[in-house]
A and B are shown apart, each in its own frame.
Chain A
Amino acid sequence: MDSLPTTSDSADLLSVHASVSDFNTQVDEELTTPAEVLKEMTEVWVNECAAPKLLPHRFDLMECLVDQVEQMESNIAMHTDTKQLKCAIHRMELHRIRYIINHYLRTRLEKIEKNPLPILREHEKRLQQRAELLDEKELAFAQKFAESRMKLFKSAFLANIPESMQKLPVNVPKLSEHRVFIEVEKDGVEDVNIPDMTDPNGEKILTLEKNTKHFLPFESIQHHLENRDVKLM
């Protein structure tokens, strides 16, 4: 069991499994193989873990992956008499994929739970204009969470103090201090403004060339991240 393939070989495994078990792949508009779905999901997951705030959701990818994992698991359950090694390798790969999915969901839930109100507000602002921040299930969760917390505060404390004092202070997170590592994916990316360290109010302009790596404030490259011009490391 020492030479189990790493996740970089998972693409091969997934396509092998697909051809062996002959199931219907869920077809996304741009991505057609489970291998590509996994590759993009991995990137989305790394971005989400590295970003200091909640990124727009990619539940479309994630649900596609979950469906495929479930299909593969039922396929494996049927093939219990095949050689142990092949089954073990597939099961190991499925464990890894499940870990990625679970960790992605857990990270997002953690970020929502830390500060639900600003996130709900941003979700409202974004509707119909840019990519949605929260999936509908996350939205329901965030609303219920904020409600139940408010209910606890009210019953334990706020109901007993005068009405005009009953407003809950909301923490607006300061993102200006967060720095992230990025790698530039595409050519011809717009220049970014970064704060000039020698002059408190000044800004420098940085040109982003393909395949370069940088360490800069998250705010400066936020919109690039959404356009998928850069990715976090």
Chain B
Amino acid sequence: MTSTTKSNVANDAMSLINDLILYQDSIPPYKDEVVKKCAKQIEELYQANYDDILAMRSKLDSSSSSASSIHDDPKMQLCRARQNCIEHIKRLCLTYLTVRLDRLKSLRWKHGGLLPFKIKNNLSPSETEWLNGYSRMLAEFQQSIGDNGVNLFGHIHPPKSLHIHVRALSDYGEFELSDGTTIILKKNSLHYIPREDCDTLLKQGILEFANLGC
């Protein structure tokens, strides 16, 4: 039982990690069957260890030899190798889940709540539930500070000026600013509007910064 066996046993778990590496910052489709298979492998290894240790213990009890503990039994090495495999697979699977969560979290902050459809499809139901819970936690936290709550999604960069030049990327129609005036967003139209008003639209991709070079 050498390291070749270990890599054979952990192949499925490694495939999950390879998925993550392939997709870089994005989230690959959730491989539910592979995760379940890894869990089953851990169960089997654990069960084999349990049976072996029980056998060794009973042999120790019934034999009259001067062996002091089961640690002297050569089969113990096998049990240790199995335990290593269990830890390894468990670590790989937990890494898979944690990295997915981390990427999901950074996407949530980047897009401000509206995730692209592709990503939503790739999540498992428990991940979608986690995301909703996370948004709720954040909202509660934000609400609890001050009278009106703080919006942690705004003011991401130190402000350089009150208004910015933006260009509309598509025909959005009418948009009301915070001081009451309405502007009409047609494709490729340029506008000079207060920073706070365009935050949401910038995140959604309807507006973009216009570098007018002035």
Contacts and interface: CB of A to CB of B under 8 A. Distances in A.
Interface string A84-100: 00001001100110110
Interface residues of B, number: 46
A18 B156 CA distance: 27
A151 B91 CA distance: 17
Interface in B105-148: 105, 124, 126-127, 129-130, 133-134, 137-138, 140-141, 144-148
A102 interface: yes
A66 B145 CA distance: 8
B130 A157 contact: no
Q: Is the interface of A mostly helix, strand, loop or mixed?
A: helix
B93 interface: yes
Contacts of A88: 162
B130 A149 contact: yes
Q: Is the interface of B mostly helix, strand, loop or mixed?
A: helix
A1 B42 contact: no
A217 B147 CA distance: 40
B60 interface: no
B74 interface: no
Contacts of B148: 70
B88 to A, nearest CB: 12
Contact of A152 (B97, B150, B156, B162): B97
Interface of A: 1, 62-63, 66-67, 70, 80, 88, 91-92, 95-96, 98-99, 101-103, 105-106, 109, 113, 137-138, 140-141, 144-145, 148-149, 151-153, 155-157, 160-162, 165, 168-169
